[in-house]
Chains A and B, each alone.
Chain A
Amino acid sequence: DGGITQSPKYLFRKEGQNVTLSCEQNLNHDAMYWYRQDPGQGLRLIYYSQIVNDFQKGDIAEGYSVSREKKESFPLTVTSAQKNPTAFYLCASSIRDSTEAFFGQGTRLTVV
């Protein structure tokens, strides 16, 4: 089955630790995106990548980093510089030059 897989579904980390969220897709999509969702805030764009080895900052990139070494994978690292990391993180992908995005099931990160 084709789709986008985010893992893990739930993640707990201690304050001050970096953590990496996984996003893998087998849809052969060129573009991938990371959004953060907070209650009552909707989805805010963190980073996106239109092609392998290239990515752009979104609206709230501070405290996050990404890499795009393979077409299928777009991992997101939440660094210790992110002041409020506890949130629901959503990964999406789309065909290049298409606006129709397909979403993974999300990772809920809790920092204690």
Chain B
Amino acid sequence: GEDVEQSLFLSVREGDSSVINCTYTDSSSTYLYWYKQEPGAGLQLLTYIFSNMDMKQDQRLTVLLNKKDKHLSLRIADTQTGDSAIYFCAETYSGNTPLVFGKGTRLSVIA
């Protein structure tokens, strides 16, 4: 079955770059997403990448996709205290199939 793995915790200093990693098992995954969850809130879509892309950049966010290794990463440049949250990787292979989520990585930013 489908499985998405993430490390549970990451701690960085303010101003440094953060890299959150994700691996998935389903080779047919076509759509890969990163969501952010602040305490007690719902999930906010941050960015996404399609499987025919290797990289996508959106302001401070850079997504890298290695299809061969089924590895996805989210890089946050110049990390701020407001970036402290849980980050979820999610994947699916079609528009009629619900997203499968990883367990989330809790990012702590130290001032």
Q: Taking the nearest CB of chain B, how far is it from the CB of A16, in angstroms? A: 27
Q: Which of A40, A42, A96, A106 contacts B42 (CB 8 A)?
A: A106
A58 and B98 form a contact (CB under 8 A)? yes
B42 and A90 form a contact (CB under 8 A)? yes
Taking CB atoms, residues of chain B closer than 8 Å to A106 are 40-42
The total of interchain contacts (Cβ-Cβ below 8 angstroms) comes to: 54
Q: Which of A40, A97, A103 contacts B96 (CB 8 A)?
A: A97
A104 and B42 form a contact (CB under 8 A)? yes
A98 and B95 form a contact (CB under 8 A)? yes
* Distance in angstroms between the alpha carbons of A4 and B43 in the assembled complex: 12
B62-111 interface (Cβ within 8 A of A): 88, 92, 94-104
B88 and A99 form a contact (CB under 8 A)? no
* Distance in angstroms between the alpha carbons of A43 and B42 in the assembled complex: 11
Q: Taking the nearest CB of chain A, how far is it from the CB of B46, in angstroms? A: 12
B99 and A101 form a contact (CB under 8 A)? yes
B96 and A42 form a contact (CB under 8 A)? no
B94 and A99 form a contact (CB under 8 A)? yes
- In the complex, whether A53 has a CB less than 8 A from a CB of chain B is no
* Distance in angstroms between the alpha carbons of A91 and B88 in the assembled complex: 16
- In the complex, whether A86 has a CB less than 8 A from a CB of chain B is no
Nearest A-chain residue to B43, judged by Cβ: A103
B95 and A45 form a contact (CB under 8 A)? no
Supply 21 A–B pairs (Cβ within 8 Å), ascending by A.
Answer: A4-B42, A40-B8, A42-B102, A43-B43, A45-B98, A45-B100, A48-B98, A50-B96, A58-B98, A90-B42, A97-B96, A98-B95, A99-B33, A99-B95, A99-B97, A100-B45, A101-B45, A103-B43, A105-B42, A106-B40, A106-B41
Chain B residues packing against A (C-beta within 8 Å): 8, 31, 33, 35, 40-45, 48, 88, 92, 94-104
Pairs A-B, 10 closest by C-beta atoms: A42-B103, A97-B95, A103-B42, A43-B101, A103-B43, A99-B31, A105-B42, A99-B92, A42-B101, A48-B98
